């Protein structure tokens, strides 16, 4: 029977995870920020309604948020898509959702962001293995 031994330097492991976590967070932050910017463009250019006052279209936002760094340096990243006008909800749900723009944009931007993150993690895997 073969004997296997394993030694681990927990201080070095923690240091490596912190550095790796910082690099991952930096790259995810950039990807999420870029995706939010693309989301705003898509919201404003593809909103299917006629905007008589420009309030609804100019009030569409996609705000990136980054928070909650854990002990090993990983954070929570999200994009908040919203209307700034009070009647924005009605544009989303009335007329069998004919005028909705938020959810179609969330889906589209989400797909692109996930592809970007997949590429990011593939790149990290090849550079850190």
pLDDT of residue 59: 96
Residue 97 within a domain: yes
Q: Which two three-digit tokens encode residue 74?
A: 């990983």
Q: What domain count does the chain have?
A: 1
Residue range of the domain that includes 33: 24-128
For residue 36, being part of any structural domain is answered with yes
72 domain-assigned: yes
Report if residue 39 sits inside a domain.
yes
Contacts 24+ apart (CB under 8 A), 91-97: 91/47, 91/49, 91/56
On whether residue 79 sits in a domain, the answer given is yes
Nearest to 77, CA basis, from 26, 128, 116, 37: 26
**45 φ, ψ (degrees, to nearest 5):** -90, -25
What is the per-residue pLDDT across 69-124, written as a single tens digit (0 to 9) for each? 665 556 889 999 999 999 999 999 999 999 999 999 999 999 999 999 888 888 76
For residue 75, is it within any domain?
yes
CA pair distance 87, 80, nearest whole angstrom: 18
Whether 7 maps to a domain, the answer reads no
Asked if the structure places residue 17 within a domain, the reply is no
Tell me: the pLDDT tens digits for 19-55?
Answer: 667 778 888 899 999 999 999 999 999 999 988 899 9
């Amino acid at each position: 029977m073969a004997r296997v031994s394993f030694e681990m330097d927990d201080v070095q492991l923690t240091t490596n995870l912190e550095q790796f976590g910082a690099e991952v967070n930096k790259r995810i932050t950039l990807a999420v920020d870029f995706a939010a910017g693309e989301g705003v463009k898509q919201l404003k250019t593809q909103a299917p309604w006629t905007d008589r006052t420009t309030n609804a279209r100019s009030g569409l936002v996609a705000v990136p948020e980054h928070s909650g760094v854990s002990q090993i340096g990983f954070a929570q990243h999200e994009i908040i898509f919203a209307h700034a006008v009070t009647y924005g909800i009605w544009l989303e749900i009335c007329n069998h959702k004919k005028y909705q723009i938020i959810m179609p944009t969330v889906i589209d931007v989400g797909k692109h962001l996930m592809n970007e993150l997949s590429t990011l993690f593939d790149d990290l895997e090849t550079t850190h293995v």
